[in-house]
Amino acid sequence: MTVGRERQKGKKKLLFLTTHQAAQLLGVSLPTIVNWIGAGRLNAYRTPGGHRRIPRGEIIRFSRAFSYPLPAEFTEESGPLRVLVIDSDRDLGEMVRDYLLMQGNYEVRLAAGLFEAGYLIGGFKPQVVLLDLSLPGLDALGVLRLIRDDEHASVPLVFAVASVRNLRNERLLSSFDGLLEKPLRLDQLLEKLPRV
C-alpha cells in the first residue's frame, strides 16, 4: 500500500496529495500550487523530509471556494478520519476522543500502552496518531518506524504529545509531524488535524 492511500471498495483513494498530484488534479502548474500554499490559500503539511502533503479534504474545500472542478469520484465521502491516541492517561484519551466525536467526522481509538497500540495500528489503520512521549519504556523512534513501515504506511501524520519544558532532543522532535504540548489544548489539536 502506498503512503497517503486508503483502500475502499476495491479502489485506492488518495488521503493526502503531493503538490504534483494537486497540480494535475486542479489543472494548474506546480509553481501555482506552491504559490497558493505560500499565500495561505491552500493548506499543506510538511513531511519530516520537507515535502508538502495536502489533505484530500483541503483540496475539496479549495475547489469549492475557488470554483475549480474536480472529478466526481474524488469528491465522494471517504468516511471519518481515524485517530489513534496512545497515552497512559486514560482520562486524557477519553477527553480527546469525546471532543473529536463532538466535532463531527472522526473515529477515535485509545491505547494505554505500546502492545495495545501495535494491535490497533495493524487493525484500525489510523490516519493520525497522537503519541505521548512520557510512556514508560517508550522508544519513540522505534514506534515511529513501526507506524511508518510498509505494512502500516497509511499513517501519514504522527504527533508527539509532551510537556515542552521536559524535551531536550530536537532530533527526536523533528522526526514527528508536529508537537502538541501538555496540558493539551483541544482547539490546538483540532487546528493540526487534517480537514475531513
3-state SS track over the chain: CCCCEEEECCEEEECEECHHHHHHHHCCCHHHHHHHHHCCCCCCEECCCCCEEEEHHHHHHHHHHCCCCCCHHHHCCCCCEEEEEECCCHHHHHHHHHHHHHHCCEEEEEECCHHHHHHHHHHHCCCEEEEECCCCCCCHHHHHHHHHCHHHCCCCEEEEEECHHHCCCHHHHHCCCEEEECCCCHHHHHHHCCCC
What residues contact residue 177 under an 8 Å CB cut-off, 6+ apart?
Answer: 45, 46, 47, 48, 156, 157, 158, 159
Per-residue confidence (pLDDT) for residue 1, from 0 to 100: 31
pLDDT over 50 (residue 114): yes
Task: Specify burial of residue 186 (Cβ count, 10 A radius: 0-12, 13-18, 19+).
Answer: middle
State CA 24 to chain mean position distance: 23
| 189 has a pLDDT exceeding 60 | yes
Residue carrying the nine cell digits 488518495: 14
Per-residue pLDDT tens over the stretch 151-172: 555 566 888 888 766 666 777 7
Sequence ranges of the chain with CATH classification 1.10.1660.10 = 5-75
Architecture of domain 5-75: Orthogonal Bundle (1.10)
What is the average per-residue pLDDT within 63-75? 76
Q: Find the mean pLDDT for residues 76-102.
A: 87
* Ranges of CATH 3.40.50.2300 domains, the chain: 81-192
Is residue 131 within 8 Å of 161, Cβ to Cβ?
yes
For β-strands 52-55 and 45-46, DSSP reports them as antiparallel
What residues have CB less than 8 Å from 64, skipping those under 6 apart? none
Q: Per-residue confidence at 76, pLDDT binned at 50, 70, 90? A: low
The answer to which of 26-35, 106-115, 139-148 has the lowest mean pLDDT is 139-148
pLDDT at 177 over 50: yes
pLDDT at 135 over 50: yes
Which of 97-101, 156-160, 171-175, 179-183: highest mean pLDDT? Answer: 97-101
CA distance 151 to 78: 21
Model pTM score: 0.62
In angstroms, rounded to a whole number, what is the distance separating the alpha carbons of residues 187 and 166? 22
CATH fold, domain 81-192, is: Rossmann fold (3.40.50)
